[in-house]
Amino acid sequence: MGLRAFVLAVALLLGAAPAQAEPQGLPSPGLTRLLQAELARFPSKSGIYVKDLATGEEAAVRGDEHFESASTIKIAVMVLAFRLADAGKLDLNARYTLRPEDYRGGSGVLRYGDFGATPTVRDLITQMIITSDNTATDIMIRKVGGPAAVNDFLRGSGYVALKLNKTLLDHFRWRYEVLDPKYRALSPQDVYALQSNAPYFTAPRAALIAEVRRESAARDLDTLVARQNDVEDTWLGVVTPVELGRMLEGIERETVASPAACEEMKRMLRAQQSGARKIPHFLTVPVAHKTGENTGVTHDMGMIYARSGTIVMVSLNTGATGLIADADDRIGELARLVVDYFDGAR
């Protein structure tokens, strides 16, 4: 007996009706119980959404709860960019010249290059996805019209919870505003200097860097920031497992943009360079995915191209304790369990 059949049999014994394998889909009580049992062992607040696109069978735990997005919200920026390209309002082949004020800390590779590089808009979207590049992300947020335009697109598309609160610049600068409101006036170059060791940025700002370090140590900046972890306005964005899953399904089914645009998005997601220890870790089938990380936060979401068909999976985990690498492994183990559940019965 395969894992899927076993779980359904247990569900029947417990008095739950099995989900019907219909394209429209019905919640799967057996899979839900299995996922609940697994997440109960996670040292974090965790939510998950899983859907077999071939049958519509789906399950969720904390599916509609709000989670800090970290970089998973970048997928909404990508979809909007391709929709604008479809409408002739954004040229993916146009080149953009990188300037000092574009550089952002955190993830990505563009900040390690020299000024004056001229990636295409398509290159920027690619880096935003496959290396979660924050420099590329803020450029693309501007290109699509800013956070308000992203949120108008999301509301117009029927997403209730998904939201981009701010740019990466504002998100990083907020950390210093927690110390003192005067830091709201920090320039993009100031913020980047506080997050890098690049002499071009740090040398002229040595006094500022020393001042912020003194204040951070004296007031325990990490603790000040942690006290606001549950305040949604302080997050980069807001997501839920179910709504992220819906967006992924739209990309896979080629309904969120033109078929050609969706194919490009899927190629980018399949070229992911981060999160090898997450969804793909223990799998031997292709995965197209996007990660998100922050302090105590580790997410992954994507399409798993299992032998039985495509599975959408979204795993969100916040307030994680212990090693993040261990939390990433748990995401990988969940993905293996999900694939075994669907593939093992066929």
Residue 24 binned pLDDT confidence (cut-offs 50, 70, 90) = low
* Residues 180, 214 share a domain: yes
* Residues 330, 270 share a domain: yes
Q: Does residue 47 fall inside a structural domain?
A: yes
Q: Which long-range contacts (CB under 8 A, 24 or more apart) does 301-306 make?
A: 301/72, 301/75, 301/244, 301/245, 301/248, 302/248, 302/269, 302/272, 303/248, 303/251, 303/252, 303/266, 303/269, 304/279, 304/335, 304/338, 304/339, 306/339, 306/342, 306/343
Contact residues for 21 (Cβ-Cβ < 8 A; gap 6+): 55, 56, 57
* Residues 242, 184 share a domain: no
Distance (Å) of CA 282 to CA 42, 223, 274: 18, 35, 15
pLDDT at 25: 57
* Residues 275, 183 share a domain: no
21 has pLDDT over 60: no
How confident is the model over 37-92, as pLDDT tens digits?
999 989 999 999 999 999 999 999 999 999 999 999 999 999 999 999 999 999 99
Q: Does residue 156 fall inside a structural domain?
A: no
Strand partners, 61: 48
Contact residues for 87 (Cβ-Cβ < 8 A; gap 6+): none
* Residues 301, 222 share a domain: no
Q: Which of 205, 234, 263 is a domain's end point?
A: 234
pLDDT at 342: 95
How confident is the model over 122-148, as pLDDT tens digits?
999 999 999 999 999 999 999 999 999
- Asked if 164 contacts 77 with a C-beta cutoff of 8 angstroms, the reply is yes
Q: What is the mean pLDDT of the chain?
A: 92
Residue 226 binned pLDDT confidence (cut-offs 50, 70, 90) = confident
* Residues 221, 246 share a domain: no
* Residues 183, 207 share a domain: yes
Q: What percent of the chain has pLDDT over 90?
A: 86
How confident is the model over 232-250, as pLDDT tens digits?
999 999 999 999 999 999 9
* Residues 316, 247 share a domain: yes
pLDDT at 34: 93
Q: Does residue 17 fall inside a structural domain?
A: yes
Distance (Å) of CA 133 to CA 47, 56, 160: 25, 33, 26
Q: Does residue 32 fall inside a structural domain?
A: yes
Q: Does residue 301 fall inside a structural domain?
A: yes
Sign of CA dihedral 305, 49, 39, 301: positive
pLDDT at 27: 73
Q: Does residue 246 fall inside a structural domain?
A: yes
pLDDT at 17: 33
User: What would the mean pLDDT of 32-36 be, rounded to a whole number?
Assistant: 95
Q: Which of 234, 266, 286 is a domain's end point?
A: 234
* Residues 218, 251 share a domain: no
Q: Does residue 208 fall inside a structural domain?
A: yes
pTM beyond 0.75: the answer is yes
- The rounded distance, in Å, linking the Cα atoms of 51 and 109 is 33
Counting the structural domains of the chain, the total is: 2
How confident is the model over 186-222, as pLDDT tens digits?
999 999 999 999 999 999 999 999 999 999 999 999 8
Q: Which of 234, 260, 288 is a domain's end point?
A: 234
* Residues 226, 287 share a domain: no
- The rounded distance, in Å, linking the Cα atoms of 22 and 177 is 51
* Residues 252, 225 share a domain: no
pLDDT at 227: 86
Q: Does residue 159 fall inside a structural domain?
A: no
How confident is the model over 276-309, as pLDDT tens digits?
999 999 999 999 999 999 989 999 999 999 999 9
The pair phi, psi for residue 139, each rounded to 5°, is -65, -45
Say which CATH number the domain at 21 has.
3.40.710.10
Domain residues for the domain of 217 are 168-234
3-state secondary structure of 309: strand
